[in-house]
Chain A
């Protein structure tokens, strides 16, 4: 079976800083992959290269066997790659429901000048996703006045409207208080369980969350992959303990 995502020999430099050094990754459908690594290790650069925001200097990225390396972010989005943002990117003056309606509208083949945005069919789709993310109570609130955790959930709910093949979550629990992290991941992963076709790649700093929700862990250190294994094995790796979790002191 063709893998969902394949990175072949991907390299990226920012002047002298190596953000990606010969990255080779193959991700199969249905995997829940966590990207870990300290700040500047190249996790977000990798995510940005998948979405087309950055172009690799060398190498190729394939989605379902098709080369997407040189495509624009919008074209890649339309092929089934969705992302959420570390700092939620929402439409502040619009309500929660309207944010969802925009998200569902954006990937319609032809946007209508005539049909009401709030027509029944569009509302039902938005509503069902809001319910899955336990956001229906906030439906008519203006997004700018929502608390951070709710904004994070909405950001992720919006990226799911297209039923993407590949979902990239950039630090889904960052900026959320420690005791809210697990309930929040429960909500997110619960909502994702109903999207069996969706493969998930998430950047995460909290190793408890990684252990609980990832099926596979890829650890980055200065642009290289230092471990790629099941969570247990990856977190026990010496390099990971030295460079990522800081359990072993580096010389």
Chain B
């Protein structure tokens, strides 16, 4: 069996140099989008802002997917982040965009953390349904709580950036630039995590839990950590989306919202972090064009698109440019 293969080439180690390249690429990508934003029409910068914010939530699902579970309830952390940012803005008068985003992520993490040990015992459909149930409980609560605006939600005003009051004509562009920058940074951190020792352990958990335990690794801990990390991503996305929309409502936690995040994660596949944001942008484009041209059947277009991707690219659109199987 050994003779059929050529002698093994030197092992491809990820040296500091390789990581440097990744960081440079991310920086270049970020600069490109921020620069391009000056030329883009307003509707498109807004669409890309939403794509980046929602993409962050789907990035969290990809973190979970690599460990073999899918959450159908990321609307919960999306809403937690959104409401946290909106409440900070309205009730505490804290207006800084970056601070609001960070607060959204942290609050979502705190909301998710108590459930992480429980959820880490479940897999497959049970994990998916439990997360869905949690998000729908949150939806029900948010609908009833008049303090939080009930079913209508409430509006929030225009944020500031590091003490700088944003002028009317700039606010859209600044929101876009900050969201894209945050998304790039999170994508970069996700890539570093995926390539780390713990990231590799997550893949092993997906492949064979029994063996991980018999090697001395903790499967539940791995799943719980991923759930909390996914919550941070989701909360960040929720806060940025709420600020960009200037509005927050219980629908953030509704199951169709969660479904869209899963849709994007499946479309993207688990191999590429860039694919998550490409998929998220595709969803936003299809949504806005279809609802303009065939408003009643736009989900149909989306469904057919997903079918085609699953049929021809079962590993998601990330498989178009990522070689190799697992990573």
Contact = CB atoms under 8 A, between A and B. Distances in A.
A105 B197 contact: yes
Contacts of A94: 200, 203-204, 207, 326
A107 B213 CA distance: 10
A93 B207 contact: yes
Contacts of A95: 326
Given A103-B215, A120-B13, A111 B201 contact: yes
A137 B3 CA distance: 9
Interface in A71-86: 73-74, 77-78, 82-83, 85
A116 B201 contact: no
A114 B203 CA distance: 16
Given A98-B200, A137-B7, A118 B195 contact: yes
Interface string B11-43: 111110001000000000000000000000000
B6 to A, nearest CB: 9
Interface residues of B, number: 37
Contacts of A117: 14, 195-197, 199-200
A137 B203 CA distance: 23
Contact of A150 (B1, B198, B214): B1
Contacts of A150: 1
A39 interface: no
B193 interface: yes
Nearest to A141: B5
A112 interface: yes
A190 interface: no
B8 A136 contact: yes
A112 B201 CA distance: 10
A139 to B, nearest CB: 5
B256 interface: no
Contacts of B124: none
Contacts of B211: 85, 89-91, 158
Nearest to B213: A74
B188 to A, nearest CB: 12
A163 interface: no
B213 A73 contact: yes
Nearest to A111: B198
A116 B15 CA distance: 8
- Residues of A in contact with B, size category: 35 or more
B11 A106 contact: no
Nearest to B15: A120
B195 A91 contact: no
Contacts of A111: 197-198, 201, 217
A113 B198 contact: yes
A122 B197 contact: yes
A90 to B, nearest CB: 7
A137 B8 contact: yes
Contact of A92 (B8, B207, B213): B207
Contacts of B162: none
Given A90-B208, A119-B14, A105 B214 contact: no
B307 interface: no
B216 interface: yes
Interface in B264-296: none
A5 to B, nearest CB: 17
Interface in B204-248: 204, 206-208, 210-218
B19 A89 contact: no
B118 interface: no
B204 A91 contact: yes
Interface string A24-60: 0000000000000000000000000001000000000
A114 B7 contact: no
A83 B214 contact: yes
Contacts of A137: 2, 5, 7-8
A111 B210 CA distance: 19
B325 interface: yes
A142 B9 CA distance: 16
Contact of A91 (B5, B207, B213): B207
B192 interface: yes
Contacts of A113: 192-193, 196, 198-199
B198 A112 contact: yes
A-B pairs with the 8 shortest C-beta distances? Answer: A106-B217, A91-B207, A106-B215, A117-B200, A116-B14, A89-B211, A77-B216, A102-B204
Given A83-B214, A117-B195, A117-B199, 15 more contacts: A74-B214, A93-B206, A98-B200, A105-B201, A107-B216, A113-B192, A113-B198, A116-B196, A119-B13, A137-B2, A138-B1, A138-B2, A138-B5, A142-B325, A147-B1
9 contacts: A83-B214, A98-B200, A99-B204, A103-B215, A106-B215, A107-B216, A137-B5, A139-B8, A150-B1
